Structure 1
Amino acid sequence: MNMTKIPNGDEKVTVELTVKELMALAGVQFIANHEVKISARKKLNEVLSDTWEKEMRDNAPIPYQLLS
């Protein structure tokens, strides 16, 4: 059992996928159109990146100049 702490790991996010993209992520092979899976993965990575950036902004240290 891995006890790695992921900040806001239980937070829900929304990703807009087409039915084909969802099927590709679920394991359906689109032999003639490999771009479907690539597109779906890009969307997931984009949402994950945005979520991490939001977390970093929210927990960023307060600049010293603002403390005075």
Structure 2
Amino acid sequence: MNSQVKVPKGDEKITIELTVKEAIALTGVRFNGEPQLKRAATKKLMEQLDQTALH
């Protein structure tokens, strides 16, 4: 089965400001002393995607 996903503004570029640690956390590396890093980075990413998709 072949399905395609259509994303409005899918080729538009977005800019998200992350710390180096946040960017690394998004790759799957765990920072035991700072478990909130991935959550914070994901939140920033999702907020930017929401803003882009709505406008």
Query: Do they fold alike, i.e. is TM over 0.5?
Result: yes
Query: Aligned partners of 1:2, 1:40: CA distance in 2, in Å?
Result: 30
Provide the residue aligned with 1:38 in structure 2: 39
| Structure with greater helix share of residues | 1
Provide the residue aligned with 2:29 in structure 1: 28
Normalising by structure 1, we get a TM-score of 0.73
In structure 1, the gaps of 5 or more residues are 55-68
Number of residue pairs aligned between Structure 1 and Structure 2:
54
In structure 2, the gaps of 5 or more residues are none
Shift, 1:2, TM fit = 3.2
Percent identity between the aligned chains? 48
Alignment of 1:1-68 (within 5 A): 1-54=2-55
With a CA cutoff of 8 Å and minimum separation of 6, indicate the structure with the bigger relative contact order. Answer: 2
Runs of 4+ in 1 over 4 A off after TM superposition: none
Normalising by structure 2, we get a TM-score of 0.88
